[in-house]
Amino acid sequence: MSRVTVSKRTASDHFEPDEDIDPKAQRQLRGHLEQIDYAAYAANRRVLSSTVVSIDAEKLQKLAAAAALARTRWVVAGLAVAEADPFPNTQQIKTLADLREAYAELTEVYEGLRRMVERGYLSYVGPEAA
């Protein structure tokens, strides 16, 4: 299973056994993969807990608003370019690309934080706890 995020495709995080491997070897491989996953989980929790600790609804709201503003700037600039001239120049295209990159990066940060909470690397403090 895969999903599309912004402009790239990511593979599923789930174990998918090879049908040619016998069940005992599959269980052994699954055990090794679980150990690897746990090591990555522990490392992520250790590193993130020393820097970010937790994320709250207000911080996520600000990040989402920044991404929305970046997308709005990109779209407005694209509309302005198209309105002014049907053949945008190199500088106009570069400006649009920079605005799109800012939007894409902020969106990826949001998605990354969401995954960190989902995987248990960061704790989430909801608005009801504040």
- Please, what's the largest Cα pairwise distance for the chain? 67
3-class DSSP assignment, residue 93: helix
* Structural domain that includes position 12: 2-129
The total number of structural domains that make up the chain: 1
- What is the per-residue pLDDT across 8-32, written as a single tens digit (0 to 9) for each? 556 666 666 666 778 888 889 889 9
Distance from C-alpha of 115 to C-alpha of 130, rounded to nearest angstrom: 22
- What is the per-residue pLDDT across 57-103, written as a single tens digit (0 to 9) for each? 999 999 999 999 999 999 999 999 999 988 899 999 999 999 999 99
What confidence category does residue 112 fall into, taking pLDDT thresholds of 50, 70 and 90? very high
User: What residues contact 101, with CB distance under 8 A and at least 6 apart?
Assistant: none
Chain mean pLDDT for the chain: 87
Distance from C-alpha of 84 to C-alpha of 96, rounded to nearest angstrom: 14
What confidence category does residue 114 fall into, taking pLDDT thresholds of 50, 70 and 90? very high
